[in-house]
């Protein structure tokens, strides 16, 4: 705890020092900017971002405690037309250096991770792709190792939030193999983005079905450095159609997105064995029935509610997302989240943002049925899981050019869906709700 609190103090001090130095100009002028100025004629641009967090659960979870974790992201973008004369093509690659323990993994035990940067410590290649622009930019084709969370089931108003589920939704992040193509594991794939009109944009992608080989190992261990480049697993296919519009005399922008996905691998049944017995039945093997394929449908709604006087990209924005998947082969069968982001509310602090959001993930009927079977066969009144939900409130303060300090509060309800507390000898009590406090510092070099 003391170690993490010292780290927290260091992060705040970093922001304070950066703020004081900002009076003398943009400190980044002596960073990557002069290098990028020289590389620009070759179409090359470097980027670097560091995110550091001190987080602690003041109550609840598996145990109380605090951690410091961080992720350094170094990237390179190349305009291949300038570099080698390849018209309409761009290249991107980036590497993560991830360090520190995870609050969810080590202290809370919840499904929707407290932080989107939480991962096993590693240095790994994340993205490595080429994108080709065709038909005057109306069709973009991206090929290579890439994530899905930037474009699919996404809202621009969720970018402020710290919880992982408010980036890549809690349902796909839990039920897809290796969590799907999202931090910290991207996968090889092909993505098509077509501008059908000024209002409609279509997206379709085919990804390798998993970032790591099947087996008992954690996918982040099995693909420790992001170099597996697996292409022979049953694929994951996702598509969506986005409709953009402007509302009222103020022309407030909004969009509605609908889509679906299919996965062609086999998935474990949540309750039954191949013999037709409950997995909790001691007369059976306990080996789950294998279900062929998986699927889901989803929708995203986002709406600018008001403009700020400080600019067209500032104001009040609202988002909501929902998704459904089959109950028999998935731990989570229904997901819903939503929130509000406010920016441009102060001329003195034009780049500050405030956000409040909530997530809800319902435990599937199959998993709940297994919990009832466990009660029946053991005689122990262990908890029947029902849902996990998270409330997040955060404020992002832009303290200097490229530097933001972000206090955050999260309240995690029914961690792991209200699963058995591993510290309870009677096996009848749930993991307690967790109250999480912390601060994130982001530095763009």
Per residue in 390-442, pLDDT (tens digit) is 999 999 999 999 999 999 999 999 999 999 999 999 999 999 999 999 999 99
Phi-psi region of 179 (alpha: psi -120 to 50; beta: other; left: phi over 0): left
Sign of the Cα torsion 113, 117, 122, 126 reads positive
Residue 17 has pLDDT above 80, yes or no: no
Q: Is 1's pLDDT higher than 90?
A: no
Q: Closest Cα partner for 65 from 99, 103, 100, 101? A: 103
* Mean pLDDT computed over 379-385: 97
The pLDDT of residue 216 is 87
User: Backbone phi, then psi, for 19, in 5-degree steps?
Assistant: -65, -45
Question: What's the chain's length in residues?
Answer: 445
Question: 75: exposed, middle or buried (C-beta count within 10 Å: 0-12, 13-18, 19+)?
Answer: middle
Q: In sequence order, what are the beta bridge partners of 374?
A: none
Confidence of residue 117 (pLDDT cuts 50, 70, 90): very high
CATH for 2-444 (3.40.50.620, 2.30.30.60, 2.40.160.180, 1.10.3720.10): 2.40.160.180
Which of 37-41, 277-281, 304-308, 378-382 is predicted least confidently? 37-41
pTM of this prediction exceeds 0.85: yes
Lowest mean pLDDT, pick from 9-18, 89-98, 130-139: 9-18
């Amino acid at each position: 705890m003391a170690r993490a609190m010292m780290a927290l103090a260091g992060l705040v001090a970093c922001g304070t020092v950066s703020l004081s130095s900002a009076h003398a100009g943009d400190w980044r002028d002596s960073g990557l900017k002069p290098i990028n100025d020289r590389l620009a004629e070759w179409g090359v641009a470097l980027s670097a971002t560091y995110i550091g967090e001190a987080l602690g659960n003041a109550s609840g979870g598996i145990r109380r405690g605090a951690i410091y974790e961080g992720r350094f992201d170094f990237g390179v973008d190349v305009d291949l037309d300038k570099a080698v004369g390849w018209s309409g093509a761009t290249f991107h690659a980036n590497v993560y250096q991830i360090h520190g323990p995870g609050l969810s993994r080590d202290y809370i035990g919840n499904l929707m991770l407290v932080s989107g940067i939480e991962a096993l410590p590693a240095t790994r290649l994340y993205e490595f792709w080429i994108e080709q622009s065709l038909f005057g930019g109306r069709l973009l084709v991206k090929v290579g190792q890439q994530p899905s969370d930037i474009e699919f089931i996404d809202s621009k108003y969720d970018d402020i939030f710290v919880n992982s589920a408010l980036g890549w939704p809690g349902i796909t992040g839990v039920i897809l193999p290796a969590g799907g193509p999202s931090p910290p594991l991207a996968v090889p794939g092909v993505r098509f983005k077509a501008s059908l009109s000024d209002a409609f944009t279509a997206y379709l992608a085919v990804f390798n079905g998993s970032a790591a080989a099947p087996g008992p190992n954690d996918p982040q261990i099995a693909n420790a450095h992001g170099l597996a480049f697996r292409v022979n697993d049953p694929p994951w296919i996702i598509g969506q159609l986005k409709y953009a519009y402007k509302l009222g005399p103020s022309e407030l922008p909004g969009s509605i997105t609908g889509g679906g996905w299919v996965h062609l691998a086999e998935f474990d049944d949540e309750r039954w064995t191949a013999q037709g017995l409950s997995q909790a039945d001691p007369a059976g093997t306990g080996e789950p029935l294998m279900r062929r394929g998986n699927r889901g449908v989803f929708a995203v709604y986002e709406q600018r509610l008001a403009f700020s006087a400080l600019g067209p990209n500032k104001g009040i924005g609202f988002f909501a997302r929902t998704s459904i998947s089959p109950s028999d082969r998935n731990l989570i069968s229904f997901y819903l989240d939503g929130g509000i982001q406010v920016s441009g509310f102060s001329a003195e602090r034009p780049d500050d943002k405030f956000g409040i959001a909530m997530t809800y993930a319902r435990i599937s009927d199959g998993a709940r049925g297994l919990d009832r079977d466990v009660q029946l066969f053991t005689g122990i009144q262990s908890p029947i899981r029902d849902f996990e939900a998270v409330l997040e409130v955060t404020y992002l303060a832009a303290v200097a050019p490229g530097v933001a300090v972000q206090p955050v509060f999260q309240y995690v309800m029914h961690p792991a869906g209200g699963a058995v507390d591993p510290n309870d000898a009677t096996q009848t009590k749930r993991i307690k709700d967790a109250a999480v406090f912390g601060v994130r510092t982001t530095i763009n070099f």
